[in-house]
């Protein structure tokens, strides 16, 4: 189900393609769902599908992909996956990227140049940020700040539980579109996929 920024239900349909999510010019996407509805699964599969499109290690079949139109993900040159539940007192997305990615990947003497590289990437190419666990984010702010992010090149996907997105501080104007996740349409497909993944 898609809900526009005025919070009126405008479409009630199943989403079968990535282009249904990422090709309508929306920049801030919210995916709401109750516990166990598949929010984290969607995020993990999105990252895996994007990785396979960018640098395929194993040839994936259509049955192994969340959606068949993974070529839609090619427009994102970079994907940043941020787990909000582990971060305290950090309110800017750029800070979150430093803590979760740069500090873990680079040696301490390379942190400053790596941060400049990330900022340069954000100025010049299309990228996707998935910030998972908004409802578990231990911070007083309603949302991480997008200060320092070039909005023309960024799409921000935020999965969360409905109670968090009902926070009055998350104004309707901050939502380009809201997807209401009711569950996985084919749970058997997930079981098949789990048994066919390489080890």
**CATH label of the domain that carries residue 130:** 3.40.50
Q: Say if residue 46 is exposed, middle or buried (CB neighbours under 10 Å; 0-12, 13-18, 19+).
A: buried
Other beta carbons within 10 angstroms of residue 65's beta carbon come to: 17
When divided into structural domains, the chain yields a total of 1
Is 7 within the bounds of a domain? no
Is 11 within the bounds of a domain? no
Which of 105-114, 156-165, 168-177 is the least confident region?
A: 168-177
What is the predicted pLDDT for the residue at 41?
Answer: 86
Is 123 within the bounds of a domain? yes
Average pLDDT, the chain: 78
Average pLDDT over residues 138-149: 82
At 52-85, the pLDDT tens digits run 888 765 555 555 566 777 888 888 999 999 888 8
Domain residues for the domain of 129 are 24-194
Is 167 within the bounds of a domain? yes
At 91-132, the pLDDT tens digits run 888 888 888 889 999 999 999 999 999 989 889 999 999 998
Q: Which of 184, 152, 183, 162 is nearest to 7 (CA)?
A: 162
Is 81 within the bounds of a domain? yes
Is 4 within the bounds of a domain? no
pLDDT at residue 194 greater than cutoff 70: no
Provide the whole-model pTM. 0.81
Is 2 within the bounds of a domain? no
For residue 9 the two structure tokens come to 């239900």
């Amino acid at each position: 189900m898609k809900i526009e920024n005025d919070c009126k239900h405008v479409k009630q349909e199943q989403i079968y393609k990535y282009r249904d999510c990422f090709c309508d010019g929306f920049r801030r996407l919210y995916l709401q769902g109750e516990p166990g509805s598949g929010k984290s699964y969607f995020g993990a599969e999105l990252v895996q599908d994007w990785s396979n499109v960018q640098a395929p290690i194993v040839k994936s079949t259509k049955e192994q992909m969340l959606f068949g139109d993974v070529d839609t993900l090619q427009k994102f040159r970079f994907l940043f996956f941020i787990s909000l539940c582990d971060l305290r007192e950090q309110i800017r997305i750029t800070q979150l990227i430093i803590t979760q990615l740069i500090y873990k990947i680079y040696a301490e003497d390379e942190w400053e140049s790596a941060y400049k590289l990330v900022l340069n990437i954000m100025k010049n190419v299309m990228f996707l940020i998935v910030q998972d666990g908004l409802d578990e984010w231990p911070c007083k702010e309603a949302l991480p700040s997008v200060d320092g992010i070039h909005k023309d090149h960024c799409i921000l996907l935020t999965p969360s539980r409905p109670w968090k997105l009902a926070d009055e501080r998350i104004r309707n104007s901050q939502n380009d579109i809201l997807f209401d996740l009711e569950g996985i349409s084919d749970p058997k497909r997930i079981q098949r996929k789990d048994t066919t993944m390489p080890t």
